[in-house]
């Protein structure tokens, strides 16, 4: 059996997340496995680097699969891109050693969360951004983000209360950037803020809960200094709201 590693892009808007489910065929993993099983004539299981939620997008999701095929990697990639729906694409596919595992071998990930800070909608960005009308204090959000950087127990920032696995993770960097102005028909717009998270791994809903908490800091509903108290409490109810899925994109997985 040969082992193949692929890098994927997908727009998650119309899918029920990455992980295949018995109740629906409308998942990224489900679509990939169905296509590869048809291509090889045998059941193929696809392992992803992690599960993205329903509505979350990816520019650099990594997955691998084992297959008994004589097709070249380039031929498999061409086959997949021909038959996959237009909102899923394979941008790289190579053969790798048999023991490579996209999730177990991952060393780090980067996510980006996009916010439109304006009462005016961005029609062409509506599927990829969360809209916040109230003015956001970028400096306050940066101070709060600095407290989250480093190795901490992020139990307060996950929705999974039943997991017995460690909730300790390391965030290498959180960038809170106000993006350069964009020229529009009615003039320049300077209302996009991007949160970029780089770490060794992230818990279920962790990035979206952190973003929701930072947005509450940005609207002065809470102070940056409260972040340390939230971390220490380990209680999900002390953190902020879960930010909508559509603003989140998995950018990169590192090995």
* CB neighbourhood size of 104 (10 A): 9
Residues taking part in catalysis: 53
147 and 90 in a common domain: no
Domains contained in the chain, number: 2
**What angle do helix axes 226-233 and 206-218 make, rounded to 10 degrees?**
150
151 and 47 in a common domain: no
178 and 52 in a common domain: no
140 and 40 in a common domain: no
The whole-number pLDDT of residue 42 equals: 96
Boundary-marking domain end, from 70, 96, 122: 96
Structural domain harbouring 77: 2-96
187 and 127 in a common domain: yes
| 101 within a domain of the structure (yes/no) | no
Which of 187, 198, 203, 243 minimizes the C-alpha distance to 219? 243
Structure token digits, residue 20? 């295949």
The whole-number pLDDT of residue 163 equals: 74
The whole-number pLDDT of residue 187 equals: 54
153 and 90 in a common domain: no
| 244 within a domain of the structure (yes/no) | yes
138 and 231 in a common domain: yes
| 103 within a domain of the structure (yes/no) | no
CB 35 within 8 A of CB 80: yes
175 and 146 in a common domain: yes
Tell me, what CATH number does 66's domain have? Answer: 3.30.70.580
The position carrying tokens 């021909």 is 82
Boundary-marking domain end, from 96, 127, 162: 96
List the chain pLDDT tens, one digit each, 255 residues: 999 999 999 999 999 999 999 889 899 999 999 999 999 999 999 999 999 999 999 999 999 999 999 999 999 999 999 999 999 999 999 999 999 999 999 999 999 999 999 998 889 999 999 999 999 999 999 999 999 999 999 999 999 877 788 999 999 999 999 998 766 655 556 699 999 999 999 999 999 999 999 999 999 999 999 999 999 999 999 999 999 999 999 999 999
| 73 within a domain of the structure (yes/no) | yes
202 and 146 in a common domain: yes
What does the alpha-carbon distance between residue 235 and residue 231 come to, in Å, rounded to a whole number?
A: 8
134 and 64 in a common domain: no
pLDDT in tens, 92-119: 999 999 999 999 999 999 999 999 999 9
The whole-number pLDDT of residue 188 equals: 55
Q: Is 34 exposed, middle or buried (0-12, 13-18, 19+ CB in 10 A)?
A: middle
Tell me, what CATH number does 219's domain have? Answer: 3.30.70.660
Q: Are strands 192-199 and 168-178 parallel, antiparallel or unpaired?
A: antiparallel
């Amino acid at each position: 059996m040969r082992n193949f590693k692929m890098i994927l892009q997908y727009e998650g808007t119309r899918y029920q997340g990455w992980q295949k489910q018995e109740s629906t065929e409308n998942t990224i993993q489900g679509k990939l496995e169905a296509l590869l099983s048809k291509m090889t004539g045998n059941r193929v299981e696809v392992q992803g680097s992690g599960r993205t939620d329903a509505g979350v997008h990816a520019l650099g999701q990594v997955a691998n699969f084992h297959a008994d095929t004589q097709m070249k990697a380039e031929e498999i990639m061409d086959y997949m891109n021909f038959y996959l729906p237009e909102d899923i694409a394979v941008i790289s596919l190579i053969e790798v050693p048999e023991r490579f595992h996209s999730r177990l071998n991952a060393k780090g990930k980067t996510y980006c969360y996009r916010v439109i800070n304006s009462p005016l909608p961005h029609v062409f960005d509506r599927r990829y951004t969360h809209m916040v009308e109230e003015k956001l204090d970028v400096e306050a959000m940066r101070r709060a983000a600095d407290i989250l950087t480093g190795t901490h127990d992020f139990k307060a920032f996950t929705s999974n209360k039943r997991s017995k696995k460690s909730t300790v993770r390391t965030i290498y960097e959180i960038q809170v950037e106000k993006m350069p102005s964009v020229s529009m028909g009615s003039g320049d717009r300077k209302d996009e803020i991007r949160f970029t998270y780089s770490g060794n791994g992230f818990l279920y809903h962790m990035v979206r809960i952190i973003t929701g908490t930072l947005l509450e800091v940005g609207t002065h509903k809470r102070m940056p200094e409260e972040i340390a108290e939230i971390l220490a409490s380990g209680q999900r109810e002390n953190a902020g709201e879960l930010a909508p899925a559509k603003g989140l994109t998995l950018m990169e997985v590192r090995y």
